[in-house]
Chains A and B, each alone.
Chain A
Amino acid sequence: MYNAEVVKKPLQGKKTVTVALIGNPNCGKSTVFNQLTGLRQKVGNFPGVTVEKKVGNFQLDNQLKVRLVDFPGTYSLYPTSQDERVVLNILANQEDQYYPDVIVYVADITHLEQHLLLFTQVRDLGIPTLLALNMADAARKEEIWYDTAALQDSLKVPVIAISAREGENIPQLKEEISQLIEKPSQAPSAFYDLSKGEKDLAKTVQSKLNINNSYLALLIAQNAGRLPFLTQSDREHINEHIIQSGFNRLSMQVREVMQRYDRFTPMLKKAIQRPEGKGLSLTDKIDGIVTHNIWGPIIFFALMLIVFQAIYSWSSFPTDLIDAGFANLNSFVKTTLPESWYADLLTDGIIAGLGGILIFIPQIAILFLLISILEEVGYMARAVFMFDNVMQRFGLNGRSIVALVSGAACAIPAVMSTRTISNWKERLISIMVTPFISCSARIPVYTVLIGFVVPATASWGIFNAQGLAFMGLYLLGIIAALGSAYILKRLLHSEERSFLMLELPEYRMPVVRNILLNVWEKVKTFTIEAGRIILIVSIVLWVLASYGPGTKIAEAETQAITLAQQKNFSETQTADLIAANKIEASYAGHLGKFIEPAIRPLGFDWKIGIALITSFAAREVFVGTMATIYSIGSEEEEGSIRDRMAREKDPLTGKPIYDFATSLSLLIFYVFAMMCMSTLAVVKRETNSWKWPIIQFFFMTGLAYLGSFIVYQVFK
């Protein structure tokens, strides 16, 4: 049995105990987390940063409630990325709300040599720690021999072998956690011996901040410049000492890391043995194909094609169901409730808004199902390896390709998929440029307008000209995305030096529970967090389109009815005319007229202006608004809207409004403009601030304005 000092402060008096899960990337930490908490987990951000925080609850046998915090995977307490910095910021600050009472350190037995460095650092912080050796099942398969008692003896903390994947020894793990809470103990002596100079430095920090752990003090001193909880005077005090004693932070780190390895490597030699190499492993064989010079990229693009197909077409059935369901609900409410403003608010504002949120769920669920499988299996790391070189030139990451490809279906799940990019700058750039990729909501707009630019019968060689023009619009989106990524790469400065040092984990069968929980969590987050914003904007847009200043709306309605009676209109014709007159008299109509001078140079009139405003809800709304404005009813086919638009003439010149220049200008506008409140809502949630969605909105819409302006002025 190991010897451990009992820490004086008993934890049982507390109502909930905070337990931290810490470990290297790929140690199977999330599988442990999901095993312990199941659906009782909440995902959010750590305060002030967009690093994913997973907190879950579970009960121990002794009725003690545990708050389990899953920390980002990290290799050491010397952070190199935002994710890793979170771990240090919390573990170095005893006042932090997530500062753990107990640490469960998860290590992969099959890579124990690599996974113990961080463990020895964490252990030296004086927090009661236990070591969970995960992947006992894989160790058995690989015939790795290990001795937990020997490890426990030399590391001086409780050690338990588990397999989170198979649920093996999970009750025992809980039992060990209970024991550690009942008798909190810390390792008797630190793993790392501070040098004389380091001890002096630590003492300065210890007395300044009133802490008693010398390793913690040393860590704080080394990272003083970036720890958010230090005051400016603390920082200056510490830095002064460092400069005076001539310390080099990097050399200190290297010395510490070497000393730790030198101490635990001999311990491991006695406690773990793996069989002699047996030639190529399964992972070697798979990688021979999957990262092959020619096969690698082919397989990757085939997979991306499947991802695109899945979001684009597999989701259409559930999406149509949701769409039809909300349409039915809408008309049911309309016919049940008396005609009134609240009936309109409920149907055209709230129900339409809710429908607009739920409609994205199939796409989000399907995309994350596929991405989670690729991540879980270990494939995504290979994609990063293969495409790092190209993507790096644009300030992006290999994982950004998934976002760009998914963006062709819908930017919302695509932006959400960037969570897996750990470098903040690369992730931000991916988020900012993904909405340039033409999504499926632009297709109806393109379809309506393209006929005015390229005649349906025209062909260039064997190609249909409209098809080529379509492709041109998509290409334009891709060019805009990569071009702006390149610009952003230059503009955004990053304190993180860009490295690629990526572990390529062994291929493993995916854990179904992890995948389903991930899909569930993404859908839930989107519905609750982005959904809120979408619903509000949708109600605002409804107000804009249904109300007008003073009695304008009512006047417009009477006028329309009189005119319809004079002309002997049918019931639907009358209703369509009323709708057209009403939208002209509404706030949206006024706004359309108000912005007309600004959009005139792009070749747009106020009617297009209204459509630009309403289609901020979603691009495809453009088509519906056009139908309303030209009073042809929103149930009509795209073809008839196009016919009606083709007949639209400029009242002064008598020339068609939708001539080549205006139509092309409008197309260009829709390729570039950020006309999607849902995407902005998701960007807000993923970047944790309004700053980035606002910049994105003005940048994209500004580019759209510029593009349309040039096109119209050249071709008019």
Chain B
Amino acid sequence: MPNTLNNLELGKKGTIAAFSDEQAGCQLMTMGILPGNNVQVIRKAPLGGAIYLKMENQQFAIRNKEAECIMLK
């Protein structure tokens, strides 16, 4: 299983290493989701498809497809 955000266990913390998709990565970075940041998947959307992502002082909703582009250390 690739070490990407969508495979991170609920509640566990990980550190972003890089993005496998440049366009999605660039957009994530403009929102402040950067390589080196600690992230945690709090929960999945009730009907699937997206995850609730928590960073140090901010939370985001992103689709699984985008989560697949986020590679962890």
Contacts and interface: CB of A to CB of B under 8 A. Distances in A.
A294 B60 contact: no
A388 B60 contact: no
Contacts of A499: 24, 27, 63, 66
Most buried by A among B28, B29, B56, B62: B29
A101 interface: no
Given A110-B57, A386-B46, A389-B45, A500 B62 contact: yes
B45 A386 contact: yes
A113 interface: yes
Given A111-B58, A503-B58, A504-B61, A257 B50 contact: no
Most buried by B among A76, A283, A297: A76
A504 B32 contact: no
Contacts of B25: 254
A257 B49 contact: no
Contacts of B32: 111, 113-114, 117
Interface string B19-35: 00011111111111110
A201 B25 CA distance: 24
Interface stretch (A61-69, A285-293, A416-424, A484-492): A285-293
B57 to A, nearest CB: 6
Interface residues of B, number: 32
Contacts of A497: 23
Given A500-B62, A503-B60, A388 B45 contact: yes
Given A261-B34, A296-B46, A392-B49, A504 B57 contact: no
A251 interface: yes
Contacts of B48: 389
Interface string A60-80: 000000000000000110101
Given A111-B57, A251-B22, A254-B25, A501 B46 contact: no
B4 to A, nearest CB: 16
A700 B47 CA distance: 31
Contact of A389 (B28, B49, B60, B62): B49
A117 B30 contact: yes
Contacts of B62: 500-502
A110 B60 CA distance: 15
Contacts of A140: none
B26 A385 contact: no
B26 to A, nearest CB: 5
A189 interface: no
A291 B28 contact: no
A504 B52 contact: yes
Most buried by B among A287, A387, A392, A502: A502
Contact of B52 (A254, A291, A392): A291
A213 interface: no
A385 B52 contact: yes
Interface string A369-381: 0000000000001
Contacts, number: 107
Nearest to B35: A258
A258 B54 CA distance: 21
A111 B59 CA distance: 11
A127 to B, nearest CB: 20
Contacts of A245: none
A187 interface: no
A250 B46 contact: no
A501 B66 contact: yes
Contacts of A389: 45, 47-50
A385 B45 contact: yes
B27 A294 contact: no
Contacts of B30: 75-76, 78, 117-118, 257
Contacts of B22: 250-251, 254
A283 B59 contact: yes
Nearest to B33: A501
B69 to A, nearest CB: 10
A17 B63 CA distance: 43
A390 interface: yes
A655 B36 CA distance: 80
A375 to B, nearest CB: 16
A384 interface: yes
Nearest to A297: B46
B61 A388 contact: yes
A389 B48 CA distance: 6
B59 A504 contact: yes
Shortest 3 CB-CB contacts between residues of A and residues of B: A389-B49, A114-B32, A385-B61
23 contacts: A75-B27, A75-B30, A76-B30, A80-B27, A111-B32, A111-B58, A114-B32, A257-B29, A287-B52, A287-B59, A291-B45, A291-B46, A292-B43, A387-B45, A388-B45, A388-B50, A389-B48, A389-B49, A497-B23, A499-B24, A500-B61, A501-B33, A501-B60
Given A117-B30, A388-B50, 20 more contacts: A110-B57, A114-B32, A118-B30, A250-B23, A254-B22, A257-B26, A277-B56, A287-B52, A291-B45, A291-B46, A293-B43, A385-B50, A388-B63, A389-B47, A500-B61, A500-B63, A501-B27, A501-B61, A501-B62, A503-B60
